[in-house]
């Protein structure tokens, strides 16, 4: 008997990025000029925006009908 992994179709990393590109946005803290900012990235890694606060970043993501996810 084959396992689920053996019978599943293989999905590439690029396919996974494309699947979430319009649904998930990643919020990543960064330092800029000694200040912590929060960059918003699309699922494919493209930076979309930078916000001064995490709360503002999360609200911005949700206002654009996406689900925020954290990157550390």
> Taking a C-beta distance cutoff of 8 angstroms, is the pair 43, 21 a contact?
yes
Q: How confident is the model over 24-64, as pLDDT tens digits?
A: 899 999 999 999 999 999 887 889 999 999 999 999 999 99
> Taking a C-beta distance cutoff of 8 angstroms, is the pair 65, 21 a contact?
no
Rounded to whole angstroms, the Cα distance separating 25 from 48 reads: 9
pTM more than 0.85: no
């Amino acid at each position: 008997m084959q396992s689920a992994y053996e019978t599943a179709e293989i999905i590439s990393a690029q396919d996974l990025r494309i699947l979430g590109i319009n649904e998930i946005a990643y919020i990543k803290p960064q330092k800029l000029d000694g200040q912590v900012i929060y960059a918003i990235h699309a699922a494919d890694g493209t930076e979309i925006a930078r916000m001064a606060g995490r709360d503002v970043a999360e609200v911005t993501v949700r206002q654009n009908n996406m689900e925020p996810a954290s990157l550390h």
